[in-house]
Structures are given as structure tokens and as C-alpha cells.
Structure 1
């Protein structure tokens, strides 16, 4: 009798143990371990019957794997990569959510950050802005900029750290958000002038925020979480969002082929819940929640949903022309940065004490500097398509490089002409 009772007890314990971890949920993510650990620990404590099996993949690799007919056994994909989710949805790889979205805005400003049809939902956002040290800005006699256009002024010469989009991945959307907000030519003309005031930051060098801390610049273009990391590590810095900017959302989605759809929905519910969103305030994460009510727990954190920031951005357009924009940036700015800086610096110097005739001549020189020999491309433009695939196809890379070379020569002629006109005006003065 005792032996029978003991056997029954052991069987019940084993059965209970099996129920406690009855479900294994396969989650594919590109998030670093600190982010995953915080979320995983809290989720498994709240749902001890579900165990997370984390599959780490970079966004490009994740998309390649999940688009295969016989892909890995993945239930949930969770990462900051708009392109990945748009592609998965287009290929029918995502299931529609059953979540209650009360308290979760689909829009940020005028832009949808979650899929309106419910195939993927935003879990956090990261915004573009400016990092600076207030005291050093004050000592230099520089006012805090509250919009990108403030950085066109002559007093910002050599005081800005600007990332190169072909070398710094986060810079693609930074460049394009201004083009979308201001229009193609106006946006590029503003980037020309900002770049003339800037130190260009490329691959292998210091971060833009580090340039400010090292005294090489007074203000840096960056993303909020880079700035938060610098401040958390002791930097006496501050970060602001300009009135018009862009926010890059991270998303979570459930695969249409998920073997654990119920557990997957439970995980998504948790990530966007009040508890899950509050975890984003953790010192190791410092990310922006997509549930506005959570900002009451962090009164010092800027709330993008409060209505004081204008956000209007077409992610699909930005993704399609990101490589094209990078090529144009290099042709117009990176390859001729010295000439561009020299021309604008001389222009500003001459403008300070110019008489009426000189003002007219300077207006003509400005027109030469701001000529824009390349029109905004249609999404089916051959060169745009070649540049978009230049990293995967040798022939398309050659076509894209030929376009860049021709465009770079055009800008060089343009800057040389402006410099000659400035030299003549200087001689007359």
C-alpha cells in the first residue's frame, strides 16, 4: 500500500512538473541579451507554464530564414526591423492578432507604427534627435536648437557631428525623414548646409555622442537610446527631439505557421501590457514604451505621444530608397566635403558685411551651390532598384557606382564654380 502511494505521488509530481513547463515557445529576436533577459525573466515568472526558447538572428538573416518554405520552427518574431515585418506580411508569413488594443495607439503623430490590419504590433520606439552638453553649449554662446533647420546657421560651423548613411546604419532614416518632411530638393539643400557645418562620422570611428564628449563637436545627431546610454554612463549631456523628427518602431509578430499560437498570443499580450511596457524603463533598457500610460512612471522621460512632436514618415518609401539616398549623400557631400565646407564658410563670411551688389552676387552663388541635378526617384526607378540590391548583385553594384561617379562629378563642377565665383567676389571686395 505504501509503495503504491509513493508511486502515485511521484507520478503526480512528474505530471505537475510537466504541466508547469508544458509549452515551449520559440521566439526569434535580434535584441541583445540584456533586453531579452529582462523580458524573459518577467514573462516566465508571470506565466510559469510557458518556457521561452530564444533564437537569435540578425534581421536580414531572420527574414531569409523565415521566407524559406521549410523554415525553422518559429512561433514569434520580435525585433526592431520594419523591413522584416513588412516583407513577412507581404509573403503571408504572419497571423493576425487577437489582442485587445485598448490603450495602444496605432498612430504616432500622422504615422502608423503598428500594422493597421493587426499582423504586427509596435513594442517600443526609438527616435532621432540631438545630443549636447548644456554647459558647453552655453559657454560657446550657442542656443539650444529645437529644429533641424537651426543648424544651418553660420555659428554652428565645425560644431556638429553628423553620421554618414552609407557607413552608419541608423543614419538612413535620419536623412530621409527630413527629405520627406521638407520635400526632396529643399531637404537635400538643408542637409548640404548642415553638412557644411559638420564633422562627418563614419564607420570605425567614434560615435557621434562621443564626439561631443571629446570636445570635437557641440551637438550630435543620434538616437535616443545612444544618448541615454551615454548619460547613464556619467555624461553630463542632454537629448532633445526636434519638433519634426522620425521614430523607428520595433515590432512583434506571430508566424502563421506557429505551432503554439495560444502561447504566442500570451507572450504578445505580455510585451504590450502595462507590466511588459514598464520593463522598458529598466536601467539596462531605457527604451520608449508604446503604451502612453506608462510614461507617468517616468516623468523625466520625454513622451512622444504627448502631441508636441510632429511625426510624419512613410516607412515603405524610406526603406525602398535608403541605399539610393546613401549614394546621393556620398556623391553630394561625403566625397566633396572639404569643398562644400569651404564654399559655405566663405559665403557666410562675405554675407556679413555685403552691400546690395554683393548680396545679389551671393544670392546667385547660393543658387549655384544648391542646384540639385538629381530628381526624386519613382519607386520603380532602375537606378534606385540597382542601388537597393547593390550589396547582393555585382552588375547592379556596378550600375549604382557608375551613377554615383557621374553624380559626384556633377557636384564637384558645381562646387568648383561656386568657389570661383566666391574668389572673384572676394577680390572685388
Structure 2
């Protein structure tokens, strides 16, 4: 117990009126992820009453906008979740001298703890049944044989999926990143509401493959021998974040809970650290060096375009799946016989492919400050206008690409 109390000096001691024994934690994680930590905390502090509230980022921010909210702590892997609270000075202060370094775009009142990584989760039984190879990277998922055998969770609802999408956009650039995402979209069977539902669908054999974070993958690997996972090569390590929130009836256990999160015992039970601690053959530092990109994501860029990326994915991929499936199935069939195309048909094919893989928002559009820090809320009039505009433009592009593909196929007997 001494080691847990030793972390208490990390925090400044703000004056709080009538502290309670109730502790309310708001998180974007599934409750099962925090259950072991909550259980440990209750053993250390038996008088505490801990309640975990699970919300996606948008609904969590709505909850925190209420003046009478009773949230004490926020835990998330999404840096954008904390930014509105930082801007509005809604977080309790921490002692700057002792806390761990966080990206400079966040705040000294937001602490990073533990890490997570993402990769591909797959069902070996499903792959064997459908004679599919195990993919080695996300880029493999654009191959025709994965058509409707893959799925992804929505970045609008899953903060870690949003960071996966951002990793693609930052690694390949805005134009090529969306080109890759639209090709993956052409093979998607569905866009799931959460990383949990995606992992569940894979474990049940409803889908073959999907990108998930390791905390879900390891849970299902332990339960099912036919489920496997590999980290995405050279992807970033993603820190978790925790902050204490101002409210009028703060819990007396807030700083104690955060101290537990920062304890060595708790940190070594988190995802990558836990896996490596259980395998003496793997050197942790060597594994991280060989597996992950040492450069972190650009959090300033993430913050600036978070709303844009999430809404754009919803309107141009989630809402267009039937059309994306249709056009990419046609394009793959044409590409398989591309040596039989006439010069004009080849030009039409390239144009159709361009239409099916081009974002309605260009690289030049990104400079327009109207898209910077776009609100997450769908009922915002400006957001609603943009969403309809992007959805309509993408639908028109896909319709034109489908028409061109049919024209090529119908005009070439070798393709029929």
C-alpha cells in the first residue's frame, strides 16, 4: 500500500467542497478493460464506491458540458477528448514537477500512462474455410480476395480507430491515405459501431479480419485458440491519458485512483507491457524498437482535423458501402484483364479508379480554416451542411465510376 500512497505527491491539493466517497470514471474504453484496476482499487480503498461510465467521445463531451455533472476522472486513448476541457479550463491542476511528459499539444493537467498498439485480428477457422491468406499489413486488405471478408469499427465511435485512420493519413499523406482507405472500403462487409463489436464478430466467425487495438485482441486470443493477432508493422505506440475533472462535489478518492494508474504494478499489467512481462524470451525494448515506429503521431494535426476526418469517413465510407463494394468489385474484375483493354477503355478504367478513390476534400481544402477543429456534433448546422455536401459528392463520384466500369465491361467481349 505504501507504493500507492507514494504517488500522492504528484498532485496539487485543490480546495474541494464536501468530498464524497463516490468516484465516477468516464472512459472511452470498454468497462472490462478497467475492471481489474477498479477491483484492485476497491481492495486498497474499501470505503470507495466506484462507478465506470462508458461513452464514445461525442456523448462524453456532451455529458461534461452539463454544469451539474459528477464526473471525477476521464480515461481515454484519444487526445482530442481532452482538448475542449483544456481550452475551457475544466481540469484539476497537477504538480508539474513530477508528472510524466505528455505531447506538448495536450496539457500539464493530462497524464499519459501505459501504451497500446494496433494491428490485425483474424479468425483462422474463417480464413481456412474461405481459403484466404493471413494478411501481413493493413495494405494487404485492398487485395480482391478479401472482398467482404473484412470489417472495421467506425472512427466516429472508436477513438483508437480514429488514431489508426490518422496513422494511415500521416504515413501516406492525405491524398494517398484516403485512396488506400477507399480501396479497403471496397472490401468491407460492414462498419461496426465499436472495436468491441468488431472483435466479437471476428471471434464468432461472422467476419474474417479487422484492425483492432491489442487490449481487445489479447482478450479474445486468451478465450479462443483459433483467433490470432499481429501488430501493424511500424505503427505508433499510443499512450492512454487520464485527467481529473472539476466538479462541485468531488470525490475524496480521485487522486488516489490516478495514483494507482501511475503505479508500476498497474502499468506492467497494461497491454504490451503485460504481454512482454509474461514472455521471458522477448526483450521489451527490442520488441518495441522492431515493431513500432519511434516517431509518435502529430497530435497538433490530429486535433486540428479530428472532426473533419471522422465526419468524412462516415459520409464517404460508412454511408457508401454498397456503392464502394460494387465499384471496386467491378474495377478488380477489369484490372484482372487489363491487357485486353483498348486505349480508350484503359483511360476510362483509370478515370473510374480515380473517381472511386478520391476524397471530396482535397489537400488544398485542408488549408481552409473553416474545416479546422470542426465540431463532432452531427446536429451542428455547419457540420450537417458539410456532411450532406461530402456524401452527395462521393455518391456522384461512385455512380460515375460504376457507369464507366459497366461501359468498359459491356464494350469488351473479353471481359464478359
Q: TM-score range, shorter-chain basis?
A: 0.7 to 0.9
- Contact 1:213 1:235 (8 Å CA) reproduced: no
CA RMSD of aligned residues (A): 4.4
Which string of whole-angstrom CA distances, capped at 9 and with x for unpartnered residues, describes residues 329-375 of structure 1? 35544454344334433433344454376588446513432242431
SS at match of 1:207: helix
User: Quick one: distance in 1 between partners of 2:372 and 2:343?
Assistant: 38
Matches within 5 A, 1:156-305: 156-165=146-155, 171-203=161-193, 207-234=197-224, 236-245=226-235, 248-255=238-245, 267-278=257-268, 280=269, 287-288=270-271, 296-299=276-279, 305=288
Cα 1:331–1:251 change in 2 (3 A) is closer
Which string of whole-angstrom CA distances, capped at 9 and with x for unpartnered residues, describes residues 123-151 of structure 1? 34443321113355356554332221112
> Counterpart of 2:407?
420
User: What is the Cα deviation at residue 405 of structure 1?
Assistant: 2.1
Whichever of the two has the greater Rg, that structure is 1
- Pick the aligned partner of 1:123 from 89, 113, 116: 113
Unaligned runs of 5+ in 1: 1-22, 281-286
Cα 1:329–1:166 change in 2 (3 A) is same
User: Quick one: distance in 2 between partners of 1:170 and 1:147?
Assistant: 17
How many residues are paired up?
386
> Counterpart of 2:37?
39
Which string of whole-angstrom CA distances, capped at 9 and with x for unpartnered residues, describes residues 296-315 of structure 1? 42229996744422264234
> Counterpart of 1:404?
391
User: Quick one: distance in 2 between partners of 1:333 and 1:176?
Assistant: 15
Matches within 5 A, 1:1-400: 27-31=23-27, 38-43=36-41, 45-46=43-44, 52-54=48-50, 56-57=52-53, 58=55, 63=61, 76-92=73-89, 93-97=91-95, 100=98, 106=101, 112=103, 118-134=108-124, 136-137=126-127, 140-165=130-155, 171-203=161-193, 207-234=197-224, 236-245=226-235, 248-255=238-245, 267-278=257-268, 280=269, 287-288=270-271, 296-299=276-279, 305-310=288-293, 312-355=296-339, 361-362=345-346, 364-371=348-355, 372=358, 373-376=360-363, 377-378=365-366, 381-382=369-370, 388-394=375-381, 396-400=383-387
- Contact 1:79 1:252 (8 Å CA) reproduced: yes
User: Quick one: distance in 2 between partners of 1:326 and 1:318?
Assistant: 11
Cα 1:418–1:80 change in 2 (3 A) is same
Cα 1:363–1:137 change in 2 (3 A) is farther
- Which one is further off, 319-328 or 233-242? 319-328
- Contact 1:209 1:226 (8 Å CA) reproduced: yes
User: What is the Cα deviation at residue 404 of structure 1?
Assistant: 2.4
User: Quick one: distance in 2 between partners of 1:146 and 1:200?
Assistant: 21
Which string of whole-angstrom CA distances, capped at 9 and with x for unpartnered residues, describes residues 130-186 of structure 1? 111335535655433222111222232232223454576754333333122211111
User: Quick one: distance in 1 between partners of 2:42 and 2:97?
Assistant: 19
Unaligned runs of 5+ in 2: 1-18
- Contact 2:115 2:271 (8 Å CA) reproduced: yes
User: What is the Cα deviation at residue 242 of structure 1?
Assistant: 1.2
User: Quick one: distance in 2 between partners of 1:141 and 1:428?
Assistant: 25
TM-score by length of 2: 0.72
User: Quick one: distance in 1 between partners of 2:194 and 2:43?
Assistant: 41
User: What is the Cα deviation at residue 66 of structure 1?
Assistant: 5.5
SS at match of 2:349: helix
User: Quick one: distance in 1 between partners of 2:391 and 2:337?
Assistant: 38
User: Quick one: distance in 2 between partners of 1:165 and 1:116?
Assistant: 20
- Which one is further off, 330-339 or 233-242? 330-339
- Contact 1:131 1:209 (8 Å CA) reproduced: yes
- Contact 1:126 1:224 (8 Å CA) reproduced: yes
Which string of whole-angstrom CA distances, capped at 9 and with x for unpartnered residues, describes residues 68-119 of structure 1? 7x66677654445433322222333341335746xx7x58xxxx4x877632
